[in-house]
A and B are shown apart, each in its own frame.
Chain A
Amino acid sequence: MKILVPVKRVPDPATTIRVLPDGSGIATDNVKWVINPFDEIAIEEALRIKEKQGAGQVILISIGQQAWQEQLRTGLAMGADRAILVRTETPLDPLAIARVIAKVASDEQPGLVIIGKQAIDDDSNQVGQMIAEFLGWPQATFASKLELAGEKCTVVREADGGLETVAFALPAVITTDLRLNEPRYASLPGIMKARKKPLLDITAESLGVDLAPKLKIRKLTAPAKRQAGRKVASVEELVAVLHTEAKVI
């Protein structure tokens, strides 16, 4: 079975994010770029399925600029078989990203699309669900456990107040939550091999889907900083101020 894994390049989660003075974007100097952590979980899950089935192909896809090859190579070093970079110089909105991935999926015919539940840069949490709808496929978001038996897929999902189990026949879209797995690191031989793995470079325009952004970011601002309060000397003082000053207990 083919598994398609969309991968987004994002600032390292430990990076301090600063808004540019004119509000047009964030400062990207000194930013270390990584694979979106939830997409790493998606790559890991795809690799595990392939290893368990003893056959198949894990295909990565990114939509961005030349530099995004770096993260695709990292994913290939983890063990993915090949990668597709869909080039665009202007950032696309989630709807257009989903259209691009759905188009590639309809060409590649994977049994599964596995994608992170959200990217930690824009925190939208939209693309997986949109891909599923564009393809007319079932979806299981926030997956913490995935079981395959032939064409049938059973997924345990992180819902509010409990765990929900849904089932469906493949093909389907899965979005990953933290509990699904612990991603592997790329091994040295993996990194060597990755250099020779196929990386297809195509333009977004060549896919013939609507790329016009409908979600427009007008400006970015930094949120008001919360003022640090004061230190208290003891538990006794803490409970006293909570009771008499903050009046919350």
Chain B
Amino acid sequence: MGDVIVFVEHRGGHFPKTTLIGINAGLELAAKRGGSCSAVVAGEGADTVAAEVAKYGVAKVIVLEEPRLAHYLADAAAQALAVLVKSTGAETVLATATALGKDLMPRLAARLNVPMASEIIAINDDGTFVRPMYAGNVLATVELEGPVRIVTVRGTAFDAAKPAAAVAPIERVAATLDPAGLKMEFVAFNEIKSDRPELTEARIVVSGGRGLKSGENFKSVLEPLVDEMGAAMGASRAAVDAGFVPNDLQVGQTGKVVAPELYVAVGISGAIQHLAGMKDSKTIVAINKDEEAPIFSVADFGLVADLFKAVPEMVEAMKKVKH
């Protein structure tokens, strides 16, 4: 009873750092429910991932073997997981709330006909979960009633799992798929290549808003600061909607949720939808010429200034700090 299965996503053998956050949440939940926590991985490169994940304190790692799981597709993955959940008798299936986790877990919940809690940020001793609603303006304590419970975990809400003394055994399980239910085809993945750290994994995030005025200014004004600080670049929805930068840089309620050690908001007014995606950052800096901007209400350090003057100055000041 009380067993937890953590679904581990990866792309060709590499898993995102947020995977270890999901594993840690799984370990915490299993400890509270008196069960054990296993990880499950499928697809091309699963062996490499399994060997790595086995070091992080799980009871075992299950590798689902089935050629049609080579590339992740929601219908096939949900089928295979549902069979595994039934055969193992797990109480909770958990994944980190990445794009993939959000795509898969509701489908799995429907397949098992059980409820799901999205993007939990805390696990209570009584088995309930805490999750944000209304762009993080409300915290709900929720209970899932079902023989099985499905959960995604917000990637900023738990610490990453740490390597354990023992390495977990790896078990291979042949996945069962009903071909009639496999209707999706993977065509291509076009990676957006960047030399910068991944937005959700970076120690420092520098984000730009509508105040930057153009995509060109993101390049010529903001990017030098991003790179001088070794940061990931983010943006407000206003900047994304205006077409200054691609959507995958969007930080906020409907974009990515980040909680770096340092978040620098440049020319961002601080709409609640944006605050929802960054207000748990350890230190927040806001640079905005409007001293009434709501972003200052969450900033540890605010600088009321014209960003076109302040940002180049900051690039120079950063150079001095580093040398």
With A214-B144, A230-B301 given, is the CB distance from A158 to B187 under 8 Å? Answer: no
- Is residue A148 contacting chain B, with contact meaning CB distance below 8 A? no
Contact B262 A217 (CB under 8 A): no
Q: Which residues of B (177-234) have their CB < 8 Å from a CB of A? A: 181, 183-192, 198, 200, 204, 229
Q: Which of B118, B261, B314 contacts A238 (CB 8 A)?
A: B314
- Is residue B167 contacting chain A, with contact meaning CB distance below 8 A? no
A residues in contact with B142, CB < 8 Å: 215-218
- Is residue B16 contacting chain A, with contact meaning CB distance below 8 A? yes
Can you sample 25 A-B contacts with CB below 8 Å? Answer: A17-B138, A94-B116, A121-B133, A121-B134, A123-B133, A133-B108, A160-B16, A160-B98, A160-B200, A161-B192, A165-B187, A165-B188, A166-B186, A166-B187, A178-B240, A178-B254, A214-B145, A218-B142, A222-B138, A223-B136, A226-B284, A229-B284, A232-B301, A235-B313, A238-B317
Contact A249 B321 (CB under 8 A): yes
With A232-B302, A238-B314 given, is the CB distance from A139 to B99 under 8 Å? Answer: no
What is the distance, in angstroms, from A221's C-beta to the closest C-beta of chain B? 5
Q: Which of A118, A172, A179, A228 contacts B296 (CB 8 A)?
A: A228
Q: Which residues of B (288-315) have their CB < 8 Å from a CB of A? A: 291, 296-305, 310, 313-314
Q: Which residues of B (107-127) have their CB < 8 Å from a CB of A? A: 107-111, 113-119
Contact B190 A163 (CB under 8 A): yes
How far apart are the CA atoms of A48 and B199 in the complex, in Å? Answer: 33
How far apart are the CA atoms of A117 and B99 in the complex, in Å? Answer: 11
Contact B184 A168 (CB under 8 A): yes
B residues in contact with A138, CB < 8 Å: 74-75, 183-184
Name A26's closest neighbour in chain B (CB-CB): B138
How far apart are the CA atoms of A46 and B291 in the complex, in Å? Answer: 42
B residues in contact with A38, CB < 8 Å: 254
- Mask, B134-154, CB within 8 Å of A = 1, is 111111111111100000000
- Is residue B253 contacting chain A, with contact meaning CB distance below 8 A? yes
Name A139's closest neighbour in chain B (CB-CB): B74
A residues in contact with B117, CB < 8 Å: 215
A residues in contact with B144, CB < 8 Å: 214-216
How far apart are the CA atoms of A242 and B204 in the complex, in Å? Answer: 12
B residues in contact with A134, CB < 8 Å: 110
A residues in contact with B303, CB < 8 Å: 231-232, 234-235, 238
A residues in contact with B250, CB < 8 Å: 178
How far apart are the CA atoms of A217 and B297 in the complex, in Å? Answer: 30
Identify the A interface with B (CB < 8 A).
Answer: 11, 13-14, 16-17, 19, 26, 38, 93-95, 98, 117-118, 120-134, 136-139, 141-142, 144, 154, 157-169, 172, 177-179, 214-223, 226, 228-232, 234-236, 238-239, 241-243, 246, 248-249
- Is residue B279 contacting chain A, with contact meaning CB distance below 8 A? yes
Q: Is the interface of B mostly helix, strand, loop or mixed?
A: mixed
- Is residue B32 contacting chain A, with contact meaning CB distance below 8 A? no
- Is residue B73 contacting chain A, with contact meaning CB distance below 8 A? yes
A residues in contact with B310, CB < 8 Å: 235
With A163-B190, A231-B296 given, is the CB distance from A139 to B321 under 8 Å? Answer: no
What is the distance, in angstroms, from A155's C-beta to the closest C-beta of chain B? 9
- Is residue B132 contacting chain A, with contact meaning CB distance below 8 A? yes
B residues in contact with A14, CB < 8 Å: 271
How far apart are the CA atoms of A132 and B108 in the complex, in Å? Answer: 11
How far apart are the CA atoms of A199 and B293 in the complex, in Å? Answer: 43
Identify the B interface with A (CB < 8 A).
Answer: 11, 16, 73-75, 78, 98-100, 102-111, 113-119, 128, 132-146, 181, 183-192, 198, 200, 204, 229, 237, 240-241, 247-248, 250, 253-254, 261-262, 271-273, 279, 282-285, 291, 296-305, 310, 313-314, 317-318, 320-321
Q: Which of A164, A223, A243 contacts B188 (CB 8 A)?
A: A164
Contact B192 A163 (CB under 8 A): yes
Contact B262 A235 (CB under 8 A): no
Q: Which of A141, A142, A164, A165 has the most CB atoms of chain B within a 10 A radius of its CB?
A: A164
What is the distance, in angstroms, from B189's C-beta to the closest C-beta of chain A? 5
How far apart are the CA atoms of A144 and B247 in the complex, in Å? Answer: 10
Contact B261 A248 (CB under 8 A): yes
Contact A248 B302 (CB under 8 A): no
Contact B109 A229 (CB under 8 A): no
Contact A133 B110 (CB under 8 A): yes
A residues in contact with B103, CB < 8 Å: 129, 139, 141-142
How far apart are the CA atoms of A26 and B229 in the complex, in Å? Answer: 41
With A138-B183, A242-B285 given, is the CB distance from A130 to B134 under 8 Å? Answer: no
How far apart are the CA atoms of A133 and B200 in the complex, in Å? Answer: 29
How far apart are the CA atoms of A141 and B75 in the complex, in Å? Answer: 12
Contact A13 B273 (CB under 8 A): yes
Q: Which of A221, A239, A246 contacts B138 (CB 8 A)?
A: A221
How far apart are the CA atoms of A235 and B204 in the complex, in Å? Answer: 18
With A158-B248, A214-B114, A216-B145 given, is the CB distance from A242 to B301 under 8 Å? Answer: yes
How far apart are the CA atoms of A74 and B323 in the complex, in Å? Answer: 60
